[in-house]
Amino acid sequence: MIGTAYLGGPGTGKTAQLIGRVQQLLAGGAAPGDILVLSASPPAAQDLAARLTEAFPAAAEIEVTTPRALALEVLASPAAQAFTGRPARLLEDFEANFFLEDLKVTGIRPQRIREILRFFYRGWTELAEADPEWLITVEEKTLHELILSDLRFIQGLLEPEISKLTLEYLRTDAAAGAARRRAHVLVDDYQLLSRASQLLAGELAGESLTISADRGASVEVFESYPYAAGVDDFVSAWPDGVVELTAGQQAVGLIAAQNNLRTDEAFVADKTLTAPEGAAGGEITVQSFASAEAEFSGAAELAAALAAGTTAGKVGIATFNRLWRKHLLNALQSAGLEVAWLPDTSVLSGDIRDRQRSSFLQAFTLLRLAGDPADSVSWRAWCGFGDWLTNSAIVASLREYAQTEGRSLSFLEALEQVAAGPTGAIAGIERLIEPLREGQAILAQLPGQQGRELLEAIAQAVSADDPRPIIARFNQLLAGADIAGMSAADLTRLLEQRLNLPVWINAGATIRLAQATDLIGSSFASLMVCGCNNGFFPPRDYFDATIMPLDKQAKQHSHDVQLFSLLIGSATEQLRFTWFERSDLENAEKLKLKIARIRMEKGKRICLLAPSEMIGFLGDIS
C-alpha cells in the first residue's frame, strides 16, 4: 500500500492537496466508489464535499464522511450487532448521566469514578485493552467490568468506543472488512482523530492512504482524545511519502500573525510559514463595544459589510460561548442577513433528578420511544427521571437478575419479565414498573400522529399545565426542517443526525455562525471572532491558580493556543475580533467572565472586562 502525508500548519493548502489527489485518482481511472474521504467533523465533511464537487462534478459520487458516521453505519448491521451485543445506539449526554449513576452503586467516590472513566475512555480510543497489564488495581477491573456489563444491559454505546468496536469487528469478520474496504482512503486533519479512528482509516484502505495533518495543533474538535502521535506513526511507516507544506495560502498579515502565535512553546517542533510572492496584505482588526448588546448589533453591521458581494460560506463568525452564539444568531437574522448555523444541542439539558427541570428530556425520551418502543436506553432513562439516585440501586438488582442463570436480557426485557411475574421478585421493583406502565400508556395514545401534532401531544403528556417551553425547545432543535408528515421514527432519525452528526442548516447562506471548534476544517475569506473576552477564551478558571494549578494552566494554555491557531488558519483575507468592555456583576458571574475591575455606577456594581489575552499572541495588529 502507498502512504502519503501532506504536513503543514493551518492555511498551507493541505486540504487543496487532498482535493488534487482525488482529481489525480479519478484521472488515473479510479471510480468514485473506489474512493473514501474522511473529515474530522460533519461540518468539515460537508464543506469538503462541496469543494470536491465544485472542483470536478464527478466527485459528487464520492463518499465524504466522518469516522463516527461511518462507524455507526457499520455497527448498525446485524452481524456487527451480534459481535458487539448492542445496537448502534449512541448515548446522548443526559443519558450518559443515568449510566454514571448506575456506576455509583460500586461505592467508589463519584470524582474517582470520573477520573477512572477518563482513563478508560482514552484507553479505548488508543486500543489499550490489547495490553493485558492495562488494568492493574481491583478497583479498575471491577469498574471496567461493570461499565461493559451495564452498556450491554441498557443496550447503548459511548462515543469513545465506537471506532474501536468498528475496527475490532472489521478485523474479526474478514468478509465485512473486505466489503467495506476502498482502494483509496483520504483523511483530512488526521491529527484531530482518535488513534482508533486513524487505524480504522488504515484498515479501510486497500491501495493507498493519504492524509493531511498539522503536527502543531491537535485539540478536541469533534472526536474525543485526538491522537497527535498518530502523525509521527504514519511518517515512520511511510517516510518517503511525506510532503512538507510551509507556504501559507493566507494574506501576508494573517501569515505573520500565525507565525507570531506559533512561536509559543506549544509549537516548539513546528515550522515557520512563508508568504507566497505577491500575496495580498490582509487585514486584522480588534474592535471593542461598550456592552454585550452593543456587540451583538455591531457584529451584525460588520457581518453585513463583510458579506456584501461575496458568495455562500465566505464569511465565518466564531464564538466561545453558546449563549453568545444564540444572541448573535438572533441579531444577524433580525438584521435581515442570511445565516447558516448548526443545531443548538444545548437545549438537550436539564436535571434528570427533578421532574420539572427535566421536562424536555422526558419529552425527547418519549419521542424516541414512540419511534422505537424497544429502545432500552430510553426506557432506562424514563424509569429514572425524578429520583435523586435515578433508581440506580433497583436497576443494579434488575441487571443482576438479567444476567443470572445464563440469561443476557436487556433492561426492557428484564423489566417486562419481572413485571409479568409474581410481585416482590426484586425489592422496590415497583419504582421501575410504574413509570414503565405510565410510559406505555402514553405511547398507546400516539400512533397515527405525525410531525408537529405528535410533538404537541408528547409535550402535553409531559407538561399539561404549560407545554410551550417543550415545544420551543423542539423548534430550536428542528429549526429549518420541514417535519410535516414525519413519523416518530423519522423525527428521531433527524434529531439523532442533528445531535450526533450535525451539518450546516441553511448551508447556502453567505455567513456561517458556530462555536469556534465547529469552524475548524472550513475556509472563509473573512472570519469574525465575537465575544473574544477573557473568561470566554481562555476560560475564567485559567486565571485562578486556586482552581487550576500551574500544570493544568500550562495544558489549558497549550490547548487554547493550538485551537486559536487552527481557528485563525481558516481565514484567508480578513480577521475581525470583537469584545465588550462592561457588564453588570450578576451577568458577569453567570457568564463566568474574567473581571478586571468592579466599580459602582449609580448604585449598581459594574464589571470592567478585558479582551482575550490570546489576541496579544498575534503581535501588533490594528
The reply to whether 494 and 397 lie within a common domain is yes
Q: What is the pLDDT of residues 243-284, one digit of tens each?
A: 999 888 889 999 999 999 988 888 776 678 888 777 778 899
Q: What is the pLDDT of residue 162?
A: 98
Residue 256 included in any domain: no
> For residues 113 and 139, what is the distance between their CA atoms, to the nearest angstrom?
10
Last residue of a domain, which of 479, 500, 521? 500
User: Does position 357 have pLDDT exceeding 90, yes or no?
Assistant: yes
Residue 568 included in any domain: yes
The reply to whether 271 and 137 lie within a common domain is no
The reply to whether 172 and 311 lie within a common domain is no
Judge residue 230's burial from the number of C-beta atoms within 10 Å of its C-beta, 0-12 exposed, 13-18 middle, 19 or more buried: buried
The reply to whether 46 and 148 lie within a common domain is no
The reply to whether 514 and 614 lie within a common domain is yes
> For residues 585 and 526, what is the distance between their CA atoms, to the nearest angstrom?
33
Q: What is the pLDDT of residue 553?
A: 94
- What's the domain range around 105? 89-158
Last residue of a domain, which of 500, 516, 531? 500
Residue 82 included in any domain: no
- Which of 60-74, 338-352, 588-602 is the most confident on average? 60-74
The reply to whether 496 and 569 lie within a common domain is no
Residue 470 included in any domain: yes
The reply to whether 382 and 460 lie within a common domain is yes
Residue 233 included in any domain: yes
Question: Domain containing 597 — which CATH number?
Answer: 3.40.50.300
Residue 251 included in any domain: no
Q: If you average pLDDT over residues 363-382, what whole number do you get?
A: 97
Residue 286 included in any domain: yes
The reply to whether 41 and 169 lie within a common domain is yes
Of 310, 505, 184, nearest to 514 (Cα)?
A: 505
The reply to whether 145 and 46 lie within a common domain is no
Q: If you average pLDDT over residues 443-470, what whole number do you get?
A: 94
If one counts the domains in the chain, the total is 4
Q: What is the pLDDT of residues 609-620, one digit of tens each?
A: 999 999 999 987
Q: How many CB atoms lie within 10 A of CB 155?
A: 22
* Per-residue confidence band for 622, with pLDDT thresholds at 50, 70 and 90: low
Regarding predicted confidence, which is higher, 46 or 601?
46
Question: What residue ranges in 271-401 does DSSP mark as E strands?
Answer: 283-289, 315-319, 339-341
The reply to whether 138 and 276 lie within a common domain is no
Q: What is the pLDDT of residue 59?
A: 87
Of 280, 193, 286, 253, nearest to 532 (Cα)?
A: 286
User: Helix or strand or coil: residue 449?
Assistant: coil
Q: What is the pLDDT of residue 153?
A: 97
Last residue of a domain, which of 500, 527, 553? 500
* Per-residue confidence band for 423, with pLDDT thresholds at 50, 70 and 90: low
| Distances 141 to 8, 151, 352, 479 between C-alpha atoms, Å | 41, 16, 28, 44
Question: Domain containing 435 — which CATH number?
Answer: 1.10.486.10
Of 173, 166, 156, nearest to 193 (Cα)?
A: 166
Q: What is the pLDDT of residues 142-199, one digit of tens each?
A: 999 999 999 999 999 999 999 999 999 999 999 999 999 999 999 999 999 999 999 9
**Cβ contacts of residue 236 below 8 Å, gap of 6+?**
none
Q: What is the pLDDT of residue 269?
A: 64
Residue 191 included in any domain: yes
Sign of CA dihedral 214, 219, 220, 224: positive
The reply to whether 131 and 183 lie within a common domain is no
The reply to whether 304 and 321 lie within a common domain is yes
Q: What is the pLDDT of residues 35-63, one digit of tens each?
A: 999 999 999 999 999 999 999 888 899 99
Q: If you average pLDDT over residues 490-510, what whole number do you get?
A: 95
In which residue are the cell numbers 451577568 written? 587
